[in-house]
Amino acid sequence: MWFDPLLRAKTAELGCAVQRLRDALLLHESASGARKRARKEADKEKFGLAVEALACNLILLSAIQSGSPKLAVPRSHGVLWRGNGSVNPVYGQHFLSAIGLLSSLGLIEEEKRGYRVSARMRVPSLIQPSEALSQHLPLTPPDWRSVHQIDDQALIILKESKDEDGRAAAIAFKETARTRQLAGQIQHINEFLRRADIEVTGQDTGLSLGKDGQPIVPYRRSLRRIFNNANWQHGGRLAGGWWMGMERTERFERIRIDGERIADVDYRQLFPRLAYVRAGKPQPKDDIYHVAGDGSGRDGWKTLMNAMLFSDGPLRNWPEDTLQHFPSGTKLRDAIKMLAARHAPIADLFGTGLGFQLMRIESDMLIGIITHLASIGVTALPLHDAVLVAESKAYVAADAMQAAFTAATGSSCAIVSIEFCPR
């Protein structure tokens, strides 16, 4: 489970418990001589904030019902002391001191310190609560409902291009009327989602962990918007919602909106259809990903085509998890040649990095759709090029998505599908 710096005590009881834990740690720090000078009040507040966030994360960790998960905590300079002023106030030397004191008192176990395995892989620092921590926090059973998540102050994030490790750091940007408008859109959405009737079933016995390494809890609704390649016209997808880390089948089984099961309303073949719009060419009448003509290898053609739209230059290697969808012995250059021939009207857009611009169009449409649906009282959970809504609102959402595509592109060629929960 990845550490979440936005977790805080929701109840007065937990707040008091965290305060007592903070005082115990400070007393131990003073008695042990670990710190020579007493902390100033401002430093105590920062330290207390770190203790509160750590305590809330450890409560949620204890509530995970499967396996024996550990909490991955950041220790790198880039996270704890980011030089652009955007570092979360939970982080800093006070954060490391809180971890050290919890360990020194035997309240947590430090399983390993993070280290780099290779140029592209790092092992995180892992901790877990000890039995002694239950004397200070509600861990037996873990009262995870006493925790909540505050809104992230960084509602829009501008990231650099990915480095050779596949990482992209957030960068500072100058606030303008436009950035304030973009942040205001997310704030408005977050305010609506905070009040919405959204539940997750099956949590009476404990929590589960999502694919993103975060617990699936219904109060994790603080969304943020991420732009890529140091370019406000690239990307812009929403991130942060708990439903984004769930498996597709699990969403249908467990999510309830306004007490109803959900429907998944999404755009089909969105990026290539946006590419055809960009090229000013007529849309193909059949499935864009049926490149072979017989429907075979559709998933492979889909991944390859989208990789070529995002690639800035010729594609030199098969995209991950793609080759197995093609006949044995298929060469990448032959597949690319076949794809370019099948979609000759947009072939000159392959390898231009257009995909990030198309993603910005996609994200703008989703922002507009969610905002419009909220204005008429319909809760919609964004999911890249789709929304999750109550079953009774599926066709309302589909109409909104059709209208958004036409408004953004001047074309009515969108394909919007609705998938209901299997019975």
**The dihedral sign for the CA sequence 397, 402, 407, 408:** positive
pLDDT-derived band of residue 121, with 50, 70 and 90 as boundaries? very low
pLDDT at residue 301, as a whole number: 95
pTM, two decimal places: 0.88
pLDDT at residue 115, as a whole number: 53
pLDDT at residue 123, as a whole number: 67
264 backbone dihedrals φ, ψ, rounded to 5°: -105, 115
Tokens representing residue 42 in the block: 């401002």
Are β-strands 156-158 and 125-129 bridged in parallel, bridged antiparallel, or unpaired? unpaired
Are β-strands 156-158 and 224-227 bridged in parallel, bridged antiparallel, or unpaired? parallel
Report whether pLDDT(117) > 50.
no
Taking residues 307-315, report their average pLDDT.
94
Is the pLDDT higher at 116 or at 204?
204
Return d(Cα 116, Cα 105) in angstroms, integer: 28
Q: What is the 3-state secondary structure (H, E, C) of 45-88?
A: HHHHHHHHHHHHHHHHHHHECCCCCCEEECCCHHHHCCCCCCCC
In tens, the pLDDT along 328-366 reads 999 999 999 999 999 999 999 999 999 999 999 999 999
281 backbone dihedrals φ, ψ, rounded to 5°: -110, 150
Structural contact between residues 315 and 380, judged by C-beta atoms closer than 8 angstroms: no
pLDDT-derived band of residue 118, with 50, 70 and 90 as boundaries? very low
Structural contact between residues 156 and 225, judged by C-beta atoms closer than 8 angstroms: yes
Taking residues 231-237, report their average pLDDT.
96
Q: What is the mean pLDDT of the chain?
A: 91
Tokens representing residue 364 in the block: 């703008």
pLDDT-derived band of residue 85, with 50, 70 and 90 as boundaries? very low
Is the pLDDT higher at 262 or at 77?
262
Q: Find where tokens 């699990």 sit.
A: 250
pLDDT at residue 87, as a whole number: 67
pLDDT-derived band of residue 122, with 50, 70 and 90 as boundaries? low
pLDDT-derived band of residue 258, with 50, 70 and 90 as boundaries? very high
Please state, for a pLDDT cut of 90, what percent of the chain lies above it. Answer: 75
pLDDT at residue 165, as a whole number: 60
In tens, the pLDDT along 35-60 reads 878 888 889 999 999 999 999 999 99
